Structure 1
Amino acid sequence: MAQLHDMIKWCDHTLKSNEFKDYAPNGLQIEGLNEVTSITCAVTASMDAIDACIKNGSKLLLVHHGYFWKGEPYAITGMRGNRIRKLIEHQISLVAYHLPLDAHPSLGNNAAIADILGLRDIIALDPNQKHSIGNIGFLPEPITATHFQQKLAQLIQPQILHLPAHKTHVQKIGFCTGAAQDFISQAAEQGCDAYLSGEVSERTFYEAKELDVHYYSCGHHATERYGVQRLGQAMCEEFNLHYHYFEQNNPV
């Protein structure tokens, strides 16, 4: 059993969450029971994830996508109201880490992608950032752009959208999980052969061709399912707790 606020303090320190300018509050968003014996993790704090947390008997739901995003209405009504009501009724704490969980060098989503793909010599996509949200890594040797798409389909998810460039082979890979498709221009500036992210925009098709950087859309959910698992496991090891991961299989 662990104390909720001890866990939040440890997470904030580990992820350096106060050093990020983010689009939603990082850390404890909804306070439940102070005593925690198990954690349920999910990418997004959906109603299904809340129900899984209840089923698991967890009093802490750890997610990458929580609530209270900038630009959202202040009123807690409708779908969000229903979610928050259920969390409060079951005394479940909601804990969310967004950009800090993308950027962490070992627990983060980008770190996981680098490990999964076997990328080497990881550097910042934007060297001017204190904590780079995106990264660059190198494949052991050049491979064809089609071969790299097949590799992504095997290791991340089967549905990979490839927007082709002119070059035939790739080795220097830029990457940033989630909805970071517009960082393709930074990847081009850094001389990357390819860039991968979660989502894709209509304009990305032309940018990939004209910047000569292969773009691979690998799914927002699929690229961001790793950070919460790594953080959840680290929390459970630190505080001797039980751990559950809820997979939604969101195709987007």
Structure 2
Amino acid sequence: MSITNQALLHYLNDLLKPARLKDYGPNGLQVEGKQHINKIITGVTASQQLIDYAISQQADAIFVHHGYFWRGEDPCIRGMKRNRLKALLTHDINLFGYHLPLDIHPQLGNNAQLAKLLDIETTGGLELDNPVSVAMQGIFAQPISLAALEAKVTTVLQRKPLVVDGGEHQIKTVAWCTGGGQSFIEMAAEQGIDAFITGEASEQTVHTAREMNIHFIAAGHHATERYGAKAIALHLSQQFDLETEFVDVDNPV
């Protein structure tokens, strides 16, 4: 079965609802390719390695979380950007990119998928005054120690996270934001949450965790954001009987 690129765009926009958010770049069909789509490669980032793999598999489209044309970047088409775009256009491959909308989707999103993997019951958004909160909060069925949570994250994501001990308390409540969500740690601490999980850490994050008595885990930007694109691949294959494949281009960051 095939679908047109415009029909897929309308479906993804209806599914992920990008108009609800002010994002750092455009969401949707970022590079237009062939009209009819039979095979889709999904991944975290539209890197040259992912594009080359899509070309080798004769894919008609690529779906990613990190696409192109970010706000404030150099608009000139040269170097790495020129090479990526040339490869897509030469092979007539559509590029779909959805950033924050993929983070927050309640079933397929990065946050929802990470919560499912870590056995977190979602209770709502961390941003209490924002109906489309990028960061989330929830609870564990039973309190666990920081060491146990670290072990769980290591096993599930297959990488050792950076961990900051925020005190002697166990963890019942938890907040999280996949990717580069470390700035939400103060908001989580102010709400009395026991632990905060994200992908990255800044220098000041360590001090915040120690001084505001909240456990902190940075499990990797890429590692925490693999699962939305993977869920989208499965969803589209079931919804439209398309050939889809999630490709994990390893990234230690």
**Same fold by TM-score greater than 0.5:** yes
Is structure 2 residue 253 aligned with structure 1 residue 239? Answer: no
Tell me, in whole angstroms, the C-alpha distance in 1 between the residues paired with 2:25 and 2:122. Answer: 31
The letter of the residue matching 1:70 is: R
TM value normalised by structure 2: 0.97
SS at 1:73 equivalent? coil
Tell me, in whole angstroms, the C-alpha distance in 2 between the residues paired with 1:58 and 1:156. Answer: 28
Tell me, in whole angstroms, the C-alpha distance in 2 between the residues paired with 1:236 and 1:4. Answer: 15
Match of 2:60 in 1: 59
Is structure 2 residue 89 aligned with structure 1 residue 49? Answer: no
CA contact (8 A) 1:7 1:235 kept: no
SS at 1:132 equivalent? coil
CA contact (8 A) 2:33 2:89 kept: yes
Alignment of 1:10-29 (within 5 A): 10-29=11-30
Tell me, in whole angstroms, the C-alpha distance in 1 between the residues paired with 2:44 and 2:22. Answer: 20
Is structure 2 residue 107 aligned with structure 1 residue 96? Answer: no
Tell me, in whole angstroms, the C-alpha distance in 2 between the residues paired with 1:171 and 1:156. Answer: 21
Deviation track 1:197-245 (CA, whole Å, cap 9, x = no partner) reads: 0011111110000111111000000000011111222122222100111
Deviation track 1:103-149 (CA, whole Å, cap 9, x = no partner) reads: 00001000001100111143111121121111111111111111111
Give the % identical residues: 38
Alignment of 1:10-159 (within 5 A): 10-159=11-160
Shift of 1:69: 0.3
Tell me, in whole angstroms, the C-alpha distance in 2 between the residues paired with 1:169 and 1:217. Answer: 18
CA contact (8 A) 1:180 1:199 kept: yes
The letter of the residue matching 1:222 is: A
CA contact (8 A) 1:157 1:218 kept: no
The alignment's C-alpha RMSD in Å is 0.9
Tell me, in whole angstroms, the C-alpha distance in 2 between the residues paired with 1:88 and 1:47. Answer: 13
Match of 2:177 in 1: 176
The letter of the residue matching 2:36 is: E
Match of 2:165 in 1: 164
Match of 2:8 in 1: 7
Tell me, in whole angstroms, the C-alpha distance in 2 between the residues paired with 1:25 and 1:55. Answer: 27
CA contact (8 A) 1:42 1:62 kept: yes
| Deviates further, 50-59 or 98-107 | 50-59
Shift of 1:37: 0.4
| Deviates further, 138-147 or 29-38 | 138-147
